[in-house]
Structure 1
Amino acid sequence: MSVEDKRSFLHGVVAPTVLKPSPLWWCIVLLVCLQPSTCQSRNGPSQEGSCICTSDILSCTALGLEQIPKEMPVSAVTLDLSHNQIAQLKEASFLGLSRLETLRVSHNQLTSIEPRAFHNSSGTLLRHLDLSSNHLCDLEQHYFIDLPGLEELLLFNNRIVRVESSAFAKLSNLRKAYLSHNRLTDFPFFSIQKHTHSELLLLDLSSNRLPKLPLEDISNLPITIQRGLYLHNNSLVCDCSMYGLFHRWAELNFTSVTEFKEEHTCLVYGMQKGTVRFFKHDRYFEKCNIIGMKLPVPEQEGNVLANVGSAVVLHCVTNLTGQNVTFFWVSPNQGYLEPPGNREQSIKMYSNGSLEIKGASAEDSGMYLCMAMDKLQKCNETREVNLTVVMHQSHEHHESFNTGFTTLLGCVVSLVLVLMYLYLTPCRCPPCRKAPPPAAATTAPNQANEAGAGSAQSSILTPTPPTTTEGPGRKTSLSNSLPT
């Protein structure tokens, strides 16, 4: 039977019969329609399998891929290439993915990223990049140069031993960077500044091999970055300056310290066997003068109050740091100050731009202007600090102390006099004349006076007041008994 005969037969036999679809038939149709489509990798489906496309997500996980697939849908917003065998990100690996926002290449064999690997991709739209659990050893300058919109960068569990100073220079929108569980012995803290990384809130450098911290560079970081700087589980050598930094962060209740106190350790004399949990066993640092440590202060008010004769330090708080930054001050009398200070050594300047005035006087009051200049980047910043030097204000405390002491002394003297009055025998005075009985009205005033005098004497010599004296007569007798 030919094809046309079959069609005519079906048309004549089957078509007139109307069949109602069963519920099972509808379920089969829905399952077929909702099944995700597959996107073949560049190696083809015959080898290791195919990527899965669902809406704007492209998942190519655990397919044994050794290279980035060549043909990928341009609608992909999230691309997951984790758990493969990719060893290198070549130039234009993500060409055409103009909508890409999240890229995961974790758990691969990455050892390097070629220049322009992210060129002609979404670039400014890419916000999340996961390169964790790979074999990266160096973070070079060109790695992230095409990703100015990146906000979260995951690089933990690699083999990173070196970070170039300009590796994060173009990541102006970076908010979180995770570099824990690597092999870092140094990190360019001076390259992280407020005007270059104003959005950075978290920098995780924990579980590395940092032996010593550049305290000046760390203290010059913005306070928002210091609050989210994680440095636990490193190979830090125990010293007072290191302990002073973490002790100050603990007082400020930074979560990077308070939530990992058990994991903040240091090595006594650099020996691994002498590891000390210095927040739990801080007796090792008992002799450290934490208060006396002159660590740079990240914040300072614009108005500073000092007493006459005391030493005062004015901090030049700017966002410019590094070896190429120079500082100078202009005093209120238009004097120019630069390191090491003036000739009289009454004013001293430190390398971080802080200005110390020894033995401040009233003439030192006024507006001080600090300027920081970066000759390499050709930029500068200024800072104004208003200093007011006043007379010593502690006399109020001395006055209150003297007043209290005088009051206490008066109470003691009064108590002694009362005790003397109660327990010492009074002097024997001649007996007072008894008043004669009232004979006439003319003698009443004299008798009243004598009675008043007797009442006055009894009121002094006896602890209880007299009971036979009236109010007006008592007042008169007391006034008359007083010596003239």
Structure 2
Amino acid sequence: MPGARGVAAPLMVSSLLLHLAGAGLPAGCLRVSDILSCSDLGLEQAPTWLPVTTATLDFNHNRLVRLEEDSFAGLPNLVTLRVAHNRLSSLAPGAFRNMSGLRHLDLSSNHLYKVDNHYFQELVGMEELLLFNNHIARVESNALIGLRGLRKAYLSHNRLTDFPFFSIQEHNHPFLVTLDLSSNRILKLPLEDISALPPSVQGGLFLHNNSLICECAMYGLFRTWEQKGFVSVCDYRADHTCLLYGEPRAAVQFLQHSRFFENCTVKALSLIGETVSSLQVYTGDSVLLECPSSLKGHQLTYQWVSPHQEYIVPPGNSNAMRMYGNGSLEIAAARVEDSGVYWCMVQDHRQSRNQTHEVNVTVVDRHHEVEPFNTGFTTLLGCVVSLVLVLVYLYLTPCRCWCRKPPPPPPATPSPAYECSGQPSILVPTPPATTEGPGRKVSNSKHVVFLEPIKEAQNGRLREAAMSDHARPHAPRGDSASFFSDSTSIVP
């Protein structure tokens, strides 16, 4: 039939072209449109020929040991490359040559030991870099500088002891919002370099589950991030630990047990260079927050970040908050929910400089302001009152025995002891108590249960019938320690 032949001819041609297009690929590779998957095939090296139209390439779960020079040079349209779960220990110079359009690179779960300067020099358009679950012990100072479009970098579950934070300043990485360094071996943090990072980077800097040594400056940094509501701290409070005196067996969850740092809070804020001012206002009042800066010029731009992580730029977000050209922020009618830390940043784009300023605003209800409660003074006052009551009880309580003469004894019997003896009073540190059970006395204050030994004996032994269950000793119980295990990297 002529019609049938006309339909079959294009199908045969397309099938032939598809066969020729995949003729150079390893057996088992799947190709759908611009997606090519050669995962879990036991490959020990990348194929020498790949379809030029490939945009997504998947080599996960193979046995690749090294990426050679120009391994993907013939793929100008490649956007996503996945080489996770292989045996890569190094990347040859020029392995990503002619791949400026690559946006997502996954090298996780390999055997990489360091990140050299030449690894990613050609990837100027890189947005997401996955390097977690390797053996990386060092990141060279210039390894990430060329990645100006980088938004997210994941290096958790490695062996890093430090990181070049100075190389990811805002003028080098203006779009960086996530840097995951959790579950490494970092001992100390370069606080000056970290505090110089823009808040967008600090808010996405994950440092939990490291080997940090406890110190005041470190504690103050994380407490400040917690007050700002940074997700990197608030979502992983229990996983932020530090080592007291550097002892590995003395790990402390410092965001949950802050008693070890009670004398550090004020000192820490000054060490990390925080300039936080405090302001208390009443509900309904108008508040004007200034944004002071030493930067001068007409190229300055201002922006505020509210406690709810809301960005505010001129002229403001609503009638409730107005922003002026000089950087001042006005809260028209303050509400209780407006309380928190307001952060202002001044940027000089010409010189690539910026400065920050913070204001801690506390909005108090005018009719329900709570007076501060001084616990130490109250405790001291309670002790003094208790002492006065004890003295009054000892020396001013009238005794009927001393105020009246006892009746004479009967003449026919020997003189017994008087009704009230002259024995000295025994001072008991607790008020008279009622007995609820053998050996258990409860004070009148109802706050403390006092236990006293049972004095009754039977044939030289304590009476077993009088022993209550709660009077017997119990074995101490220890709290089980919690340990965070990030089996998967945090990839929003």
Q: What is the aligned partner in structure 2 of residue 345 from structure 1? A: none
Give the structure 1 partner of residue 118 of structure 2.
Answer: 142
Q: Contact 2:171–2:352 at 8 Å: present in 1 too?
A: no
Determine which of 153, 157, 178 is the counterpart of 2:154: 178
Partner of 1:202: 178
Task: Please point out which of 214, 230, 235 is paired with 2:206.
Answer: 230
**Contact residue 41 and residue 69 of structure 1 kept, 8 A:** no
- Is residue 20 of structure 2 the alignment partner of residue 56 of structure 1? no
1:300 Cα deviation after fit: 8.8
Give the direction of change, closer, same or farther, for the CA distance of 1:384–1:274 in structure 2 (3 Å limit). Answer: closer
1:97 and 2:75 are equivalent in the alignment: yes
3-state SS of paired residue (1:153): strand
1:156 aligns with 2:111: no
What is the CA–CA distance in structure 1 between the aligned matches of 2:70 and 2:274, rounded to whole Å? 42
Sort the Cα spacing of 1:52 and 1:266 in 2 relative to 1 into closer, same or farther, 3 A.
same
SS in 2 for 1:142: coil
**1:107 maps to amino acid:** H
Deviation per residue, 1:193-228 (Å, 9 max, x gap)? 111100000000000000011111100111110010
Q: Distance between the aligned counterparts of 2:218 and 2:184, measured in 1?
A: 16
In structure 1, what is the equivalent of residue 104 of structure 2? 128
Residue 232 of structure 2: aligned partner: 256
Identity %: 52
Cα gap change, 1:67 to 1:114, in 2 (>3 Å):
same
What residue is the counterpart of 2:216 in the other structure? 240
CA–CA distance in structure 1, aligned partners of residues 165 and 275 of structure 2: 18
Q: Which amino acid aligns with 1:113?
A: L
Structure 1 residues 63 and 69, CA gap change in structure 2 (3 angstroms): same
Pick aligned residue for 1:293 from 261, 265, 269: 269
CA distance in 1 between partners of 2:233 and 2:275 (Å): 20
CA distance in 1, matches of 2:171, 2:182: 25
2:249 alignment partner, SS class = helix
Residue-by-residue CA offset, 1:328-361 (whole Å, 9 max, x unaligned): xxxxxxxxxxxxxxxxxxxxxxxxxxxxxxxxxx
| Contact 2:221–2:272 (CA under 8 A) maintained in structure 1 | no
How many angstroms does 1:279 deviate by? 1.3
> CA–CA distance in 1 between the matches of 2:220 and 2:143?
30
Deviation at 1:291, TM superposition (A): 5.9
Query: Comparing both structures, which one devotes a greater share of its residues to helix?
Result: 1
Alpha-carbon shift at residue 50 of structure 1 (Å): 2.9
Instruction: Give the partner amino acid of 2:42.
Output: G
- What are the residue-to-residue correspondences of 1:439-478 with 2, within 5 Å? none
| Letter of the 1:264 counterpart | H
Q: Contact 2:56/2:79 (CA < 8 Å) preserved in 1?
A: yes
**CA RMSD across the alignment:** 3.7
Distance in 2, matches of 1:315 and 1:293, equals: 19
Which of 242, 252, 258 is the aligned partner of 1:266? 242
Identify the residue that residue 164 of structure 2 maps to in structure 1.
188
Tell me if structure 2 keeps the 8 A contact 1:137–1:162: yes
Aligned CA distance change for structure 1 residues 258 and 300 (closer, same or farther; 3 Å): closer
1:262 partner SS: helix
Give the CA deviation at 1:286. Answer: 1.2
Q: Which residue of 2 aligns with 1:68?
A: 46
- SS of residue matched to 2:148: coil
1:119 to 83, 86, 97: 97
Matched residue SS, 2:266: coil
CA positional deviation for 1:100? 0.3
Deviations 1:424-458 (A, max 9, x none): xxxxxxxxxxxxxxxxxxxxxxxxxxxxxxxxxxx
Give deviations 1:165-186, integer Å, cap 9, x for gaps: 0000110000000000000001
User: Could you tell me which amino acid in structure 2 is paired with residue 234 of structure 1?
Assistant: N
- Cα offset for 1:77? 0.4
Could you tell me the TM-score, scaled by structure 2's length?
A: 0.53
**For the residues of structure 2 that align with 1:263 and 1:39, how far apart are their CA atoms?**
51
In 1, Cα distance between the equivalents of 2:35 and 2:352?
46
Conserved? CA contact 1:105–1:132, under 8 Å: yes
1:119 is displaced (CA, Å) by 1.0
CA contact (8 A) 1:41 1:50 kept: no
Structure-2 change in CA distance of 1:240 and 1:98 (3 Å): same
Structure 1 291/317 Cα, relative in aligned 2: closer, same or farther at 3 Å?
Answer: farther
Please give the per-residue CA displacement for 1:297-318, whole angstroms capped at 9, x wherever unaligned. 57899xxxxxxxxxxxx87689
Distance 1:73 1:219, change over 3 A: same
CA distance in 1, matches of 2:88, 2:199: 34
Secondary structure at 2:29's aligned position in 1? strand
Paired residues, number? 288
User: What is the deviation of 1:67?
Assistant: 0.6
Q: TM-score, normalised by structure 1?
A: 0.54
| Shift in alpha-carbon separation, 1:149–1:267, aligned structure 2, 3 A | same
Structure 2 distance, partners of 1:41, 1:212, is 54
Q: Does the 8 A contact of 1:40 with 1:50 survive in 2?
A: no
Amino acid corresponding to residue 265 of structure 2 in structure 1:
N
Distance 1:229 1:384, change over 3 A: closer
Shift of 1:290: 2.9
**Separation (CA, whole Å) in 2 of partners of 1:38 and 1:52:** 14
Q: What is the identity, as a one-letter code, of the residue corresponding to 1:106?
A: A
What's 1:344 paired with?
A: none
How far apart in 1 are the matches of 2:28 and 2:177?
39
The residue matched to 2:194 in structure 1 has which SS?
Answer: helix
Q: For residue 31 of structure 2, give the secondary structure of its aligned residue in structure 1.
A: strand
Q: Distance in 2 between matches of 1:256 and 1:383?
A: 23
Q: In the superposition, relative to structure 1, how do residues 213 and 41 fare at CA in structure 2: closer, same or farther (>3 Å)?
A: farther
Deviation of 1:293 after TM superposition, in Å, equals: 3.1
**For the Cα contact (< 8 Å) 1:41–1:51, is it kept in 2?**
no
**How far, CA to CA, are the matches of 1:277 and 1:265 in structure 2?**
4
Render the CA deviation track for 1:7-36: whole Å, top value 9, x for unaligned: xxxxxxxx89x99xxxxxx9xx9xx98xx9
CA distance in 1, matches of 2:107, 2:197: 26
Separation (CA, whole Å) in 1 of partners of 2:355 and 2:122? 38
Q: Confirm whether residue 88 of structure 1 aligns to residue 66 of structure 2.
A: yes
| 1:53 partner SS | strand
